């Protein structure tokens, strides 16, 4: 039987003093080796039908999941299934079918939520924990991005401090970015395309980047997307502002950006991905008809 579906804990200080551009302390991922090239989908190794004849609850839940994926449309309310009523054997089958995909998310608010995308893109395992780290909910969620990201990433956002008097020594070009970000926050409308500031191409000193990190603050949502290298995404404390850092397969920073958007596109499942996931799960379930 498969290992339990625990997800991959991540700790990524994306913004803040000392994290830009110095990357020391920014390599705290719970996976081994370099991520390498973009992975391709491989069907999970599943038990034979006769081995799981008695696992009626899991098979029924997977049928409901397949229907939920097939009918889900990006932008609508997420489809959810509760797993806490399943016994160990039924839960293990769910774990084997879902396995682990390429996106991990942590919400560090209350309660703390740890999310792992499954191998079926757009199907997320969402677990919430209390202050003693005890599991308080365990759900499957079908969505382009889990609802906790949309609903809580900026629930406690604060105003951006645009006072540019008495700047720290060495801060030269960051003030213009603070002004630009403030203007984009104020003018942004729902549905607008992302406004991207490419920090890699700008003449920014370490002091500039530290100042920018201090002004934006560190938010409560952290996302790691593994593909061609890694994309590490952190919400800030300012409404709709994300710090997004792209790394190559050797974990070297190759692109450093700020995105002003509801959720960065790189973290979201596309409609065609969800359609593909519905078809993949349908093919898996055919084995157990």
96-146 pLDDT, tens per residue?
999 999 999 999 999 999 999 999 999 999 999 999 999 999 999 999 999
Over residues 32-48, the pLDDT tens digits come to 233 334 445 566 677 78
CATH number of the domain at 174-266, please? Answer: 3.30.1370.140
Domain ranges of the chain: 10-152+269-286, 174-266
Phi/psi for 70 (5° steps) reads -60, -30
Q: Environment class of residue 19 by beta-carbon count within 10 Å: exposed (0-12), middle (13-18) or buried (19+)?
A: buried
Decide whether 10-152+269-286 matches 174-266 in CATH topology.
yes
The CATH homologous superfamily of the domain defined by 10-152+269-286: HupH hydrogenase expression protein, C-terminal domain (3.30.1370.140)
Nearest to 190 by CA among 254, 240, 115, 145: 240
For residue 190, the Cα-to-chain-centroid distance in whole angstroms is 21
pLDDT, tens digit, 9 for 90 and up, residues 158-190: 999 999 999 999 999 999 999 999 999 999 998
Q: pTM, whole model, 2 decimals?
A: 0.84
pLDDT band at 21 (very low <50, low <70, confident <90, very high): very low
């Amino acid at each position: 039987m498969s290992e339990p579906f625990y997800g991959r804990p991540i700790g990524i200080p994306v913004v803040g003093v000392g994290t830009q551009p110095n990357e020391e302390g920014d390599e705290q991922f719970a996976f081994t080796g370099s991520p390498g090239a973009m992975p391709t989908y491989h069907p999970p190794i599943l038990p034979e039908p006769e081995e799981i004849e008695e696992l009626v609850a899991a098979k029924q839940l997977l049928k409901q999941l397949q229907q939920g994926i097939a009918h889900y449309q990006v932008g609508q309310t997420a489809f959810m299934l509760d797993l806490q009523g399943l016994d160990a054997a039924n839960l293990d089958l769910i774990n084997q079918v879902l396995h682990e995909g390429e996106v991990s998310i942590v919400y560090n608010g209350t309660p703390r939520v740890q999310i792992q995308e499954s191998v079926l893109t757009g199907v997320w395992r969402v677990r919430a924990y209390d202050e003693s780290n005890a599991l308080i909910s365990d759900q499957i969620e079908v969505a382009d991005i889990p609802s906790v990201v949309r609903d809580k990433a900026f629930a406690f956002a604060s105003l951006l401090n645009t006072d540019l008097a008495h700047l720290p020594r060495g801060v030269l070009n960051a003030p213009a970015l603070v002004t630009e970000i403030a203007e984009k926050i104020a003018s942004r409308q729902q549905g607008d395309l992302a406004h991207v500031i490419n920090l890699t191409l700008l003449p920014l000193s370490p002091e500039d980047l530290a100042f920018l990190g201090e002004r934006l603050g560190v938010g409560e949502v952290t996302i790691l997307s593994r593909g061609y290298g890694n994309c590490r995404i952190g919400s800030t404390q300012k409404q709709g502002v994300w710090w997004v850092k792209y790394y190559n397969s050797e974990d070297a920073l190759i692109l450093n950006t700020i995105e002003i958007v509801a959720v960065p596109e790189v973290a979201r499942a596309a409609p065609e991905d969800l359609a593909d996931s519905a078809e993949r799960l349908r093919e898996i379930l055919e084995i157990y008809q």
